[in-house]
Amino acid sequence: MERRNLLRGGAALAFLAALPRRLYAAATGYPRLLDGPMVGATTPESFTIWSRASGAFGVAVEYATRRDFADARTTAPVAATQDNDLCTRVVVTGLKPDTGYYYRVKTDGSDDRHQPLPFRTRTAPDRPRPIRIAFGSCARVQLYPEQPVFEAIAAMEPDLFLWLGDNIYADSDSDTAFSAMYTRQRNVSALVPLLRSVPQLAIWDDHDFGYNDSDRRNGAKAMTRRLFDRWWANPSSGLPDTPGIFFRHSFGPVDIFMLDGRYHRDPPDDPDSPAKTMLGAAQKAWLKRELKASKAAFKILASGTGWSRAEQGGDSWAAYLHERDEILDFIRDEKVAGCFGISGDVHQGEVNCVPWSDKGGYDFYDLVSSGLAQYLSPKFIDQHPEVRLRQPWVRSANFGLLEFHFDPEPRVELSVRDVIGASASGKPVVLTAADLVNGRQSWRATIDPDELERRERVERGGSYYGGE
């Protein structure tokens, strides 16, 4: 009897040993991912996979154009180290443009048994085609752990998602607090499918840079920058001689300028003057140089805080108007066509415009989305942007959507979307490339009639939302 039981036990062990490792996860010490994967920066020839491993071992990506992985290849492993909190970026190269690829992560040479099915992403286009870019800001997982807005974003099937700051609310000078908040946000169940399939790029704002309204005096900024670079897979971060998290990224005929409005920022309550800066001299010089060099049909200037003067008394560009106007003058004087802005921070969705056509340039639009998962604030009642094109949205979580088309002519549609993906800003603002050139006024053709009536009432001496 004992021999029979021993033989049975041996046969069972042999059977288990023959199974793929991912099918018996009860064992201890098996390599796996703690966070991720997440798709980072893509190009026509590559995509990047970020993840955080369970131990110090190699992490590789197996990828294929076929679902059955018949044409699979595997990257060289990247070491997950304790020095980088076991986070890795694996860049998959040598790919075809605008092509879908299945991928799965190999941990220490084996499939992650908790994620046995492959994910799918796509390389960037190398020629004009319709492009959809979604963006948002302000995701407070402490108050909103479910975040259903990301289901609506994923349903829109964007080509790219941009995080514009307050991506976590760490509000701390402790690296432990930042890491804990990053891992909580990365594992929001509604967000996970978007992270696995759609390229993610990010900048920060005050709550993921330091504390509320933080500026260059933040004593922990070197640490928060190190963790930001650890947890995101942007294509670059600042310049060799200029710290920060700013970068330029091209996606088809669209150039995206992701700006760092915190690391070098002067205190917002300092008197505004030509010397006062949000970007710092080196980043501003970089922005001007890159804008002038860009040949893209559209150029997105992404800021953590709003471009209009709406939030006077806050820490938006309204407190740095000399520098903002310097940038808009540069765009005009150097004839840099196709620029518009996107921003976040203010806990409401907005579509505003700075009418630079009055100054010989062209109108500069600012599409604002906030928040993805944050309480909303109807403070727009007391705010006065240069031109308000749509009624601000404060009824639900929201995201911004940019839809680019290049046939028969380059154009972009700007809209704020609500928590289920419906338009929260009424009719989209439609801009052609011909609208974004010097001497062209376009805001009067794009403004909602009710907002135009309110604006004209103010010009007659009345109040915006009141009577004459």
Give me the domains of the chain, ranges plus CATH numbers. Answer: 22-122 (2.60.40.380), 131-459 (3.60.21.70)
| C-alpha–C-alpha distance, residues 318 and 335, integer Å | 24
Structural tokens at position 39: 């798709």
Neighbours of 219 (CB within 10 A): 9
Structural tokens at position 242: 């200029």
Neighbours of 68 (CB within 10 A): 9
- 8 A C-beta contact, residue 354 and residue 329: no
The string of DSSP codes covering 324-385 is HHHHHHHHHHTT--SEEEEE--SSSBEEEEE-GGGGTS--EEEEE---SBS----GGGG---
Structural tokens at position 29: 């010490």
pLDDT tens across the length of the chain (468 residues): 444 443 344 444 444 344 444 433 443 478 999 999 999 999 999 999 999 999 999 999 999 999 999 999 999 999 999 999 999 999 999 999 999 999 999 999 999 989 999 999 999 999 999 999 999 999 999 999 999 999 999 999 999 999 999 999 999 999 999 999 999 999 999 999 999 999 999 999 999 999 999 999 999 999 999 999 999 999 999 999 999 999 999 999 999 999 999 999 999 999 999 999 999 999 999 999 999 999 999 999 999 999 999 988 889 999 999 999 999 999 999 999 999 999 999 999 999 999 999 999 999 999 999 999 999 999 898 889 999 999 999 999 999 999 999 999 999 999 999 999 999 999 999 999 999 999 999 999 999 999 999 999 989 988 888 766
Angle at 200 between CA 198 and CA 204, to 5 degrees: 155
Torsion angle of the four alpha carbons 163, 168, 174, 179, in this order, in degrees rounded to the nearest 10 = -80
Structural tokens at position 5: 């039981």
pTM of the model: 0.93
Burial group, residue 356, by CB count within 10 angstroms (0-12, 13-18, 19+): buried
Burial group, residue 134, by CB count within 10 angstroms (0-12, 13-18, 19+): buried
| C-alpha–C-alpha distance, residues 225 and 203, integer Å | 10
pLDDT confidence of residue 362: 98
What's the distance, Cα to Cα, between the start and end of the chain in Å? Answer: 100
From residue 174, how far is each of 160, 166, 208, 223, 330 by CA, in Å? 31, 16, 12, 9, 39
pLDDT confidence of residue 313: 83
**406: DSSP letter:** -
Q: Smallest Cα–Cα separation from 386: which of 332, 337, 459, 438?
A: 459
From residue 297, how far is each of 23, 301, 360, 431 by CA, in Å? 50, 13, 20, 12
